[in-house]
Amino acid sequence: MNNDKTDAHANFATLGLAAPFLAAIADAGYTVPTPIQQQAIPLVLAGRDLLAAAQTGTGKTAAFTLPALQLLSARAAHPHKAGRPRALVLTPTRELAAQVAESVHTYGHHTPLVPVVVFGGVNINPQIAAFKKRVDILVATPGRLLDHVRQRTVDLSGVEILVLDEADRMLDMGFIHDIRKILALLPKVRQNLLFSATFSDDIRTLAAGLLHDPAQVEVAPRNTAAELVEQSVYLIGQKQKRELLAWLIQERQWFQALVFTRTKHGANKLAEYLARHGIEAVAIHGNKSQSARTRALTSFKDGSLPVLVATDIAARGLDIEQLPQVVNFELPNVPEDYVHRIGRTGRAGAAGHAISLVDPEEIKLLAAIERLIRRKIARAEAQGFVPSAADPSPAPAVTHPPTSKRGDGRRREQAGRSGRGRPARKNAPR
């Protein structure tokens, strides 16, 4: 990714930040700007629209908050009207809104700028009271912001800078209509910053309609695909994938594997297939109730459920990271989602494992992923895997051992855990 544009010796002053912000940064104890900060801060200060690929943990909040605050303080403000913010940050969740608001406090505390945060699930009255006073920067979740718009407690006609934070999650959570309603209330001339971990077609469409000649920046996620995750690909016909997966789970004695499928239906069918073949597996996706998802997640995390089959969207909202094993049962359509998926493996600095089952129709997707991560993914072969004779699809190349680093320690761990030591079958399940 774009880390070649970053400089390990950079400091905040060279990025163009003014004294009150340098003081706040020093108070926070930061000495070196992160790659996203190095790239984004000068662009935002120059007034550019921005399309930024960066995940939580990269320092992205400061990357937009610092320059936005500086622009607001440098510009002659129109006479302050109560409840009329000059910058608006939209976030998908309450937690993120609260976190961003805290950052605005931290980075702006040597300025007179006033931040306000509003989100749902809490009493609206204190928020209404806050809008009766000066507001410079408003951090909000879309639904609650629209409640305020309906009650005419907030006036969005003075917004000079708009930030969409974690835009992909906002779309996943169904906020697109709310976002469009909010956009319609903003002044036409303004600066727009869009941050997203992934870039689906929907995000690109939103960006195309929103951003004006945007500068683009991207940084590798915290857990970079290229560095921490041992990746391999099995080339195999679509119809044999589930057999191979069941075989791998049993043969390698995986005890905690997150398996991604492209569709909800596919997730259900795969989980049922695995269950029929003696492997406990549960599917989670948008059609499952929240309580069913939470239950599945809890047992997956505590180790009592060895396999969780998920769609990208279901997995996105879940706090499941640092897994030993991620499986792409199908490759995602969007190459960035691959990086997102495999970023869930790796525990405490140790290498995680990500395998992808790739059929001939997915070779193009694989090539796009390899371009994105700038490396060729090792091809593995499943020695000893014998596909069912009943399966009419063409036989895959399956003769030699896969990668050598197969956690034998993990195998011992597995054998010692109660209730899971099923002997691996020598033949593929039917």
Q: How far is the CB of 220 from ligand AMP (least distance, A)?
A: 13
Contact 66, 39 (CB under 8 A): no
CB nearer to ligand AMP: pick between 196 and 250 = 196
Q: How far is the CB of 39 from ligand AMP (least distance, A)?
A: 13
DSSP one-letter code for 2? G
Q: Minimal CB distance to ligand AMP: which residue? A: 61
Q: How far is the CB of 256 from ligand AMP (least distance, A)?
A: 26
CB nearer to ligand AMP: pick between 59 and 396 = 59
CB nearer to ligand AMP: pick between 30 and 273 = 30
* Contacting residue, 15, 17, 53, 59, with ligand AMP by CB under 6 A: 59
CB nearer to ligand AMP: pick between 89 and 309 = 89
CB nearer to ligand AMP: pick between 104 and 259 = 104
CA 245 vs CA 111, 175, 310: distances in Å: 57, 35, 15
* Contacting residue, 2, 56, 238, 333, with ligand AMP by CB under 6 A: 56
- Cα–Cα distance measured from residue 92 to residue 282, given in angstroms and rounded to the nearest whole number: 27
Q: How far is the CB of 144 from ligand AMP (least distance, A)?
A: 21
**Residues 17-46, interacting with ligand AMP (CB under 6 A):** 30, 32-34, 37
CB nearer to ligand AMP: pick between 61 and 328 = 61
* Contacting residue, 17, 41, 45, 61, with ligand AMP by CB under 6 A: 61
* Contacting residue, 41, 62, 72, 326, with ligand AMP by CB under 6 A: 62
CA 236 vs CA 76, 243, 281, 381: distances in Å: 63, 10, 22, 10
Provide the terminal-to-terminal Cα distance of the chain, rounded to the nearest Å. 43
Residues touching ligand AMP, count (CB under 6 A)? 12
CB nearer to ligand AMP: pick between 16 and 384 = 16
CB nearer to ligand AMP: pick between 107 and 329 = 107
Near ligand AMP by CB under 6 A, which window of 52-60, 278-286, 318-326, 380-388? 52-60
**Residues 209-238, interacting with ligand AMP (CB under 6 A):** none
* Contacting residue, 38, 39, 58, 91, with ligand AMP by CB under 6 A: 58
Contact map string, positions 157 to 176, toward ligand AMP, x by CB under 6 A: --------------------
Residues forming contacts to ligand AMP in the complex (CB under 6 A) are: 30, 32-34, 37, 56-62
